[in-house]
Amino acid sequence: MTEQTIYVVDDDEAMRDSMTWLLEGEGYRVACFASADAFLGARHEAMNGCLVLDVRMPEMSGLELQEKLDTLGSRLPIIFVTGHGDVPMAVAALQRGACDFIEKPFRNADLLSRIEQALQLGSELAARHRRDSAIAQRIDHLTQREREVMELVVAGKLNKQIADQLDISMKTVEAHRARVMEKMGVRTLAELVRAVMTVS
Amino acid sequence: MARAAGSAKNRPMFVRTPPRQPQQTLLWLAPYVAIGIFALAMLVVTALLQWREQDTALSALEGDMHWAERTIEARLHAHQDFLSELTREQEFRQLTYESFQVRAARYVRDNPEITAIVWVGTDGKVEWVSPHEATAVFVGEQLTGVRLAALEEALRIRRPSFSPDYGDASLRRANDLIYPVQRGSSDIGAFSAMMSLEALLRVTLPATFTARYSLTVVDADNREVLSNSSISPTDRKISGTISLDLPNNRLGLDIVAYRGGGIWAPFVPAALILVLTLIATTTLIQLRRHARRRAETEEQLRAAYAFRLAMSQSLITGLRAIDLEGRITFVNDAFCRMTGFSESELVGVKPPYPYWPPEEFAQLQINIDTALAGQAPASGFEMRIMRKNGERFDVRLYFSPLIATDGKQIGWMASMNDITEPKRARVELERAHERFVTVIDGLDSAVHVADAGSREILFANRAFQSVFGFDAIGRDSAIVTAACRPPPEALVLDPAGLSPDDLPCELFDGEIQHLMSGHWYHVHERAIRWVDGRTVRVQIAADITDRKHIDEVNLQQQKRLEQTSRLITMGEMASSLAHELNQPLSAIANYCAGCVKRMHSGNYQLDDLLAAMQKAGEQAERAGKIIRRMRDMVKKSDPNRQPVHLAQLIDEARAFADIEAQRSSTQLLIDIPENLPRIVVDRIMIEQVLLNLIKNGIEAMHDTPVEHRRLSIRARHLDQRQVEVTVADRGHGMAEADVEKIFTPFYTTKEEGMGIGLAICRSIIEFHQGRLWVEPRRDGGTVFRFTVPIEEEDD
């Protein structure tokens, strides 16, 4: 598992610098961006951690960036930092699926605890994503016949029924089934069912 | 006219077309040719007659000539015979002097042409003369000259000879007839008869002969020797020559007939014929010319006639001729068309005419009587007549006397115009003009038109006249409008120097104050072409005094609003500064927290901490700057407190609010006690508060029925230090929950409001150590109350 990073996007230089100081003091890895565009330019799939986003920014606002990231399929949790009177905006952001928001001026403890939660969420999301993609990869390795057999097995069919349906011998069904269990890295039927359910 | 009136079929004199002349041909040449042929024939006949006459004369001449020749010849022969007898006798010595004398004298006496007969010797000496009384010659005379030459010639040739003529002693022409005498072979002398040829001709030829002919004796060389011709002209065509048979001298006699009737006689007939021909031709040409002129005149007459006919028929003006008694003698097509009656129905009719409507009889009879009396007005009669189908229409009838070619009046010609349409148009025009005048007079603006050059006022509407005087028209506009006139140098162009091509053009557009009344006018002046073509100045002056007043009030309000807007901005700024302050404060907190964390954990670099602390300090400075900016702004709008009468403040605030109040038909009720002490306030700020409350109240009564829209402003002396002012509306009132919130910045119940008006009002009042609060009105609506300090009395 790679180390998590806190991505800070704020147009105010002092804010960026002081956040870096604070968060690095807490032992986090921090990356700062002066604008939404700068962040979008540096963004990649493997980014892991959370995003601390100022709502009010010239050019692209925090909300707009959130929308953009949504369409790009980003899984980074977002903590919005708002100023006075931006409360309705923050509510809108939360409704759109932001992780959290914090109002300036904030207490450091609040910020840190929210960051911790966000990172937790982030790592969970990342782990789930990794697992899902592994299972998907394994399914990809199955042959056409094995996949058909697996789908029927998961659907709760008996070997006999499978053999009849696919018009193959019982022995062949058993062989395919053994291969499926092996390739999917599961030992019991229950495990197989769970793995397949996760990805579908 | 009477003839025309007799028969309707028979067109009157206007309309009868003269017959057309037959086509001209070469026929006109015939008389000339005839005259020519006649003249030629006459000339030929005359010539033939002449020729025959000449022929006759010629044959007569020949007869006479022969007779004369014979007669003369016989005489001469007689002379020669006599001389030759003497010669023979002398030759033979048979002649004595005495016998010579006797015989010769007798002979001479019988023949007057012979002057004398002489005997000359061979030497030319006269020896005998007979008759001895003869004077032309004498005995012993020596012959000389031609006579001697002739003698010698005769002696030489020994033959008789006739001498050339010579002048004798009496200077008459004479010739010698010489007969030489020889005896044996010797010459002894000669007999010579002195003879006058003229006498010979006179004696031999009768007077009638000499009267008819001119006689000329010519010698062999055709030289004229003798002539008896008179001055009478001769006709050489009728002539002949006879020779005088004389020895040794060839003389001839030319006989030329005298011309009968003078030299011109033969030409007279021809000349007469020519003259007559000439006269005939000239007359013919004159006649022809005359005929042509006549034809031309006729043609012109016909064209003029056709033109008049076409004119009379194509006219849209109806023409009607009446005789002196009023009987219709002629109507043209237009007249028939207009009335609907045919010509046959009208011609010959006496008044009342069929197209007279019964109800107009009396008036029309008067008209026709007037016209027949020759007293028709020059402008004609305007009358209403009737078509055949009974339809009435208006016409104008003009009368003029109808004069015949002999200068006598034979009737009256009337032209009739249908004026129904023009009359309608005129009425329309009059109405249009009326409307125009009504509109122009109804204008508030003073409008007048003045000549650009003479400045005479040509038109002025009522508004103009009520401002500048009701006798303005016709007067000099410069004098009339002197109190309110654009100065000449303010005009765009000099109106006097305008050419028609420049029109229309702007001259002036601006505001001028009337010097007497003090009213302000917006004066717009243009130069245009007037209806009669001259250049005029049109000036429209609109009284803008009220508008100007409102503008001024608005301007003042604007100024005050600008002053107070700073206060509003301050509120806005406060809010935005608060936002700004968040940044440095958050940053400071971050830096500090970071430092604390590091120091706790003991895991730090001193330099890092120092840098962070430094940055925190910088952020603190940034926050300080923001605070300073805010303070600077507040300082700028430092209020200026002065003692002032509340009533005055309310009046001023009300001046602004009045516009709004009038627009929404809200009544402003003001109740200020007269003995209210002066308050000590910044007047602009308190005015702003009042205005704000008044406007709020007016807006709150937006849904209140118009008759209840009343806003009352009251003031009362609360205690020794302050005055309470109340602004009460009868609007929708206020929810209990809103009562305190309305003073919070950015809180608003209005869609367009910023939500800081009341907040600022409260700030202002609190700044004056007063209070601003709100409470519901008992009968609905809201009451705003505030207190302001009063002037502290010295005692």
pLDDT tens digit sequence for A20-45: 999 988 889 999 999 899 999 998 88
CB distance B164 to B146 below 8 Å: yes
pLDDT at B1 over 70: no
Q: Where in chain B are the domains? A: 315-425, 443-543, 549-636, 642-789
Query: Chain A residue closest to B598 (CA)?
Result: A25
B615 touches chain A (CB under 8 A): yes
Those residues whose C-beta lies under 8 Å from the C-beta of residue B356, and which sit 6 or more positions away, are B364, B385, B386
pLDDT at B12 over 70: no
pLDDT at B768 over 90: no
More confident of the two residues B572 and B88: B88
Distance from CA of A71 to the nearest CA of B (A): 30
Q: Pick from B174, B37, B70, B68: which is nearest to B112 by CA?
A: B174
Structure tokens at B443: 């204008």
More confident of the two residues B794 and B477: B477
pLDDT at A7: 93
Q: Which of A16, A21, A26 to mutate to test the interface with B (most CBs of B within 10 A)?
A: A21
pLDDT at B11 over 50: no
Q: Pick from B170, B192, B197: which is nearest to B181 by CA?
A: B192
In this chain, the answer to whether the domains covering B315-425 and B549-636 adopt an identical fold is: no
pLDDT at B38 over 60: yes
Cβ atoms < 10 Å from Cβ of B263: 11
B584 touches chain A (CB under 8 A): yes
Chain A residues bordering chain B (beta-carbon distance below 8 Å): 12, 14-15, 17-19, 21-22, 24-26, 83-85, 104-108
**CB–CB of A19 and B595 under 8 A?**
no
In order, the DSSP letters of B584-634 are: HHHHHHHHHHHHHHHHHHT---HHHHHHHHHHHHHHHHHHHHHHHHHHHHH
pLDDT in tens, B313-372: 777 788 888 888 889 988 888 888 888 888 888 888 888 888 888 888 888 888 888 888
B565 touches chain A (CB under 8 A): no
pLDDT at B141: 83
pLDDT at B755: 47
Residue B560: which pLDDT band, with cuts at 50, 70 and 90? low
- Which among A19, A21, A84 is the nearest to B582, CB-wise? A84
A6 neighbourhood in chain B, CB within 8 Å = none
Phi, psi (degrees; rounded to nearest 5) at B746: 65, 10
Give the C-alpha separation, B494 to B488, whole Å: 8
Residue A177: which pLDDT band, with cuts at 50, 70 and 90? confident
B610 neighbourhood in chain A, CB within 8 Å = none
pLDDT at B9: 42
pLDDT at B7 over 60: no
pLDDT at B742 over 80: no
Q: Pick from B268, B226, B279: which is nearest to B251 by CA?
A: B226
pLDDT at A33: 93
- Which among B579, B616, B622 is the nearest to A83, CB-wise? B579
pLDDT at B2: 39
DSSP letter (8 states) at residue A155: T
Cite the residue boundaries of each domain of chain A with CATH code 3.40.50.2300.
5-129
DSSP letter (8 states) at residue B702: G
**CB–CB of B590 and A108 under 8 A?**
yes
More confident of the two residues B764 and A171: A171
The CATH classification number of B549-636 equals 1.10.287
Give the C-alpha separation, B96 to B664, whole Å: 197
- Which among B575, B612, B746 is the nearest to A21, CB-wise? B612
Those residues whose C-beta lies under 8 Å from the C-beta of residue B166, and which sit 6 or more positions away, are B145, B146, B147, B173, B174, B175, B176
pLDDT at B262: 61
A110 neighbourhood in chain B, CB within 8 Å = none
- Alpha-carbon torsion (A85, A86, A89, A94), positive or negative: negative
On the 0-12 / 13-18 / 19+ scale of CB atoms within 10 A, B358 is exposed
As assigned by CATH, the class of the A142-199 domain is mainly alpha
pLDDT at B4: 39
pLDDT at B5 over 60: no
Question: Beta partners for A100?
Answer: A79
**CB–CB of A22 and B597 under 8 A?**
yes
Question: Which amino acid does the sequence have at B44?
Answer: V
Question: Which amino acid does the sequence have at B779?
Answer: D
pLDDT at A1 over 50: no
**CB–CB of A14 and B583 under 8 A?**
yes
Which residue do the tokens 């200026």 mark?
B640
B618 neighbourhood in chain A, CB within 8 Å = 14
> CA distances (Å), B751 to each of A86, B699, B748, B755, in order?
20, 12, 8, 10
Cite the residue boundaries of each domain of chain A with CATH code 1.10.10.10.
142-199
CB distance B320 to B371 below 8 Å: no
**CB–CB of A84 and B579 under 8 A?**
yes
Phi, psi (degrees; rounded to nearest 5) at B467: -85, -45
Give the C-alpha separation, B10 to B137, whole Å: 115
pLDDT at B754: 44
Distance from CA of B593 to the nearest CA of A (A): 6
More confident of the two residues A105 and B456: B456
Q: What is the share, in percent, of chain B residues with pLDDT greater than 90?
A: 6
pLDDT at A32: 93
Quick one: average pLDDT of A136-154?
85
A24 neighbourhood in chain B, CB within 8 Å = 594
More confident of the two residues B664 and A51: A51
Distance from CA of B567 to the nearest CA of A (A): 21
Q: What kind of fold does domain B443-543 have according to CATH? A: Beta-Lactamase (3.30.450)
Pick the CATH number of A5-129 from 3.50.50.60, 3.40.50.300, 3.40.50.2300, 3.90.1280.10: 3.40.50.2300
Distance from CA of B612 to the nearest CA of A (A): 7
Distance from CA of A49 to the nearest CA of B (A): 20
Q: Which of B579, B580, B586 to mutate to test the interface with A (most CBs of A within 10 A)?
A: B586
User: Is the bond leading into B422 cis (omega within 30 degrees of zero)?
Assistant: no
What number of CA atoms fall less than 13 Å from residue A71's CA on the CB side? Answer: 6
Q: Pick from A69, A70, A63: which is nearest to A93 by CA?
A: A63
**CB–CB of A25 and B593 under 8 A?**
yes
DSSP letter (8 states) at residue A99: S
Residue B245: which pLDDT band, with cuts at 50, 70 and 90? confident
Residue B787: which pLDDT band, with cuts at 50, 70 and 90? very high
Query: Chain A residue closest to B619 (CA)?
Result: A14
pLDDT at A86: 67
Establish, for the pair of chains A and B, how many residue pairs have beta carbons separated by less than 8 Å. Answer: 66
pLDDT at B99 over 90: no
What number of CA atoms fall less than 13 Å from residue A95's CA on the CB side? Answer: 6
A105 neighbourhood in chain B, CB within 8 Å = 582, 585-586, 589
Structure tokens at A192: 């197989």
- Which among A12, A18, A104 is the nearest to B591, CB-wise? A18
Quick one: average pLDDT of B610-630?
87
Q: Which strands form A49-54's sheet, in the order they lie side by side?
A: A29-33, A5-9, A49-54, A78-82, A100-103
pLDDT at B653 over 50: yes
In order, the DSSP letters of B149-217 are: HHHHHHHHHTS-EEPPPEE-TTS-EEEEEEEEEEETTEEEEEEEEEE-HHHHHHHHS-HHHHHHEEEEE
Q: Say whether B365 sits in a helix, a strand or coil.
A: helix
- Which among B578, B594, B615 is the nearest to A25, CB-wise? B594
Q: What kind of fold does domain B642-789 have according to CATH? A: Heat Shock Protein 90 (3.30.565)
Q: What is the share, in percent, of chain B residues with pLDDT greater than 70?
A: 89
**CB–CB of A18 and B622 under 8 A?**
no
pLDDT at B15 over 50: no
Note the pTM of the prediction, 2 decimals: 0.33
**CB–CB of B583 and A108 under 8 A?**
no
Q: How many residues does chain B have?
A: 795
pLDDT at B497 over 80: no
First to last CA, chain A: 25
Give the C-alpha separation, B600 to B119, whole Å: 226
Give me chain B's average pLDDT, please.
82
B622 neighbourhood in chain A, CB within 8 Å = 14
pLDDT at B294: 92
Residue A9: which pLDDT band, with cuts at 50, 70 and 90? very high
Alpha carbon B220 to its chain centroid, in Å, reads 95
Q: Say whether B665 sits in a helix, a strand or coil.
A: coil
Give me chain A's average pLDDT, please.
85
Structure tokens at B444: 């508030």
B742: part of which helix (H) or strand (E)?
none
pLDDT at B220: 74
Residue B633: which pLDDT band, with cuts at 50, 70 and 90? low
- Which among B582, B598, B746 is the nearest to A83, CB-wise? B582
B579 neighbourhood in chain A, CB within 8 Å = 83-85
pLDDT at B661: 81
Phi, psi (degrees; rounded to nearest 5) at B794: -65, -30
As assigned by CATH, the class of the B315-425 domain is alpha beta
Structure tokens at B301: 């007459």
B600 neighbourhood in chain A, CB within 8 Å = none
More confident of the two residues A83 and B287: B287
Quick one: average pLDDT of B697-725?
88
Distance from CA of A95 to the nearest CA of B (A): 24
Structure tokens at B711: 């806003």
Residue B230: which pLDDT band, with cuts at 50, 70 and 90? low
pLDDT at B639: 64
CB distance B127 to B189 below 8 Å: yes
Q: Which of A16, A22, A32, A82 to mutate to test the interface with B (most CBs of B within 10 A)?
A: A22
Q: Which of B580, B582, B756 to mutate to test the interface with A (most CBs of A within 10 A)?
A: B582
- Which long-range CB contacts under 8 A does B453-457 form with residues at least 24 apart? B453/B496, B453/B534, B453/B535
On the 0-12 / 13-18 / 19+ scale of CB atoms within 10 A, B525 is buried
pLDDT in tens, B133-163: 777 778 888 888 888 888 888 888 888 888 8
Structure tokens at B250: 């060839």
More confident of the two residues B760 and B608: B608
- Which among A18, A24, A105 is the nearest to B582, CB-wise? A105
